[in-house]
């Protein structure tokens, strides 16, 4: 029987699908250090962001036949090295796009209307209702604003779809495509296609009132990029910690150059720096972009399909 270790968990539906198909699925967490001796007892491993599958672990697990990531990014896996050893890496890029995009706009609304701050302060024992009502009366609406989507893949396009639905102007950045079409679909079955041409990062961030970042990693936004943005810009990063230079970001938050930042990912996970977490211009969440019931079910199904297809080829 093919044994699969879901070391960071798997949705119940995905586990059931795998077991119904005859696979053994183990969901008991194995500590990272213990994987060096334990992973060789499995044919495949499913991870999220917590477990790392590096070169040394791959070398210690000659029986391993597939590595799967329940999510989009695979930076916690030495996937090129695994591929060189004949071990493919699969992810689930289609499963959580809507969930991540909706979280971005949850943060955008919170920052634009000071929901994150007024909620904390109003429920405090010394929260002064009338004082807070006056202090947070200067919010802004998203309609008519310009949204820059950096990384125009599935998640970026889902974010663009929401922005267009809200009446925003959308510009997109992606080095791998010159144009793509965002489809707005309505409950009554109608749909509208919006073709969007991509532009350079430099052009996009100069135009944007709101910026959302959906790239696999790297150091993208530094002091120079922030300096070229509009005063009062609002930025969201739900992709990877470090895509925005945190020192440069903190300086821009303190000066007011950046009016607000939404962060779901951080350099120091699981212990992000406190000066960012506690900043009054920051709306923060603990890496929950894909953490909806619907997205987890979608991920479970997609993981099952990847495993089924992989071992069917074998």
Catalytic-labelled residue, pool 145, 161, 287, 302 = 287
Is 3 labeled as catalytic in the residue annotation? no
* Six-digit token string for 148: 């820059």
Cα–Cα distance measured from residue 147 to residue 172, given in angstroms and rounded to the nearest whole number:
8
Closest CA to 55 of 83, 78, 87: 78
Is 240 labeled as catalytic in the residue annotation? yes
Helix or strand holding residue 163 (H, E): helix 154-165
Phi, psi of 226 (to 5 degrees): -65, -40
**Residues 43 and 4: beta-carbon distance below 8 Å:** yes
Catalytic-labelled residue, pool 116, 117, 154, 240 = 240
- Burial call 6-16: b when 16+ CB within 10 Å, e when fewer: bbbbbbeebbe
Cα–Cα distance measured from residue 11 to residue 299, given in angstroms and rounded to the nearest whole number:
8
In Å, what is the CA distance from 156 to each residue of 77, 85, 160, 209?
23, 32, 6, 16
**Residues 302 and 95: beta-carbon distance below 8 Å:** yes
* R_g of the chain computed on alpha carbons: 21
Is 302 labeled as catalytic in the residue annotation? no
Length of the chain: 314
What is the DSSP-derived secondary structure letter of residue 215?
-
Catalytic-labelled residue, pool 185, 202, 269, 294 = 269
Cα–Cα distance measured from residue 250 to residue 280, given in angstroms and rounded to the nearest whole number:
11
Upper half-sphere CA count for residue 259 (Cβ side, 13 Å)? 21
DSSP helix/strand/coil, 238: coil
Q: Which residues are catalytic?
A: 240, 269, 287
């Amino acid at each position: 029987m093919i044994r699969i270790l879901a070391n960071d968990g798997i949705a119940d539906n995905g586990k059931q699908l795998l077991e119904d198909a005859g696979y053994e699925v183990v969901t008991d967490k194995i500590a990272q250090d213990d994987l060096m001796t334990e992973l060789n007892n499995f044919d495949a491993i499913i991870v999220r962001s917590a477990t790392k599958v590096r070169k040394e672990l791959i070398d210690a697990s000659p029986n391993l036949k597939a590595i799967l990531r329940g999510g989009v990014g695979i930076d916690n896996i030495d996937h090129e090295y695994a591929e060189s050893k004949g071990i493919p890496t699969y992810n689930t890029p289609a499963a959580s796009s809507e969930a991540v995009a909706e979280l971005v706009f949850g943060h955008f609304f919170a920052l634009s209307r000071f929901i994150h701050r007024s909620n904390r302060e109003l429920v405090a024992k010394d929260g002064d209702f009338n004082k807070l009502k006056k202090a947070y009366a200067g919010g802004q609406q998203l309609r008519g604003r310009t949204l820059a989507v950096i990384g125009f893949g599935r998640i970026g396009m889902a974010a663009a779809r929401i922005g267009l639905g809200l009446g925003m102007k959308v510009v997109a950045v992606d080095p791998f495509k010159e144009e793509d079409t965002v489809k707005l679909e309505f409950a009554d079955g109608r749909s509208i296609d919006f073709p969007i041409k991509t532009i350079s990062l430099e052009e996009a961030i100069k135009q944007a009132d709101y910026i959302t970042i959906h790239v696999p990693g790297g150091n993208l936004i530094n002091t120079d990029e922030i300096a070229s943005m509009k005063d009062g810009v609002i930025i969201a990063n739900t992709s990877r910690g470090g895509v925005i230079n945190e020192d440069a970001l903190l300086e821009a938050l303190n000066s007011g150059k950046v009016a607000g930042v939404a962060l779901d990912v951080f350099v120091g996970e699981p212990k992000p720096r406190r000066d960012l977490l506690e900043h009054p211009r920051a709306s923060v969440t603990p890496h929950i972009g894909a953490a909806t019931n619907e997205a987890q079910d979608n991920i479970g199904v997609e993981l099952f399909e990847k495993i089924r297809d992989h071992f069917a080829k074998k």
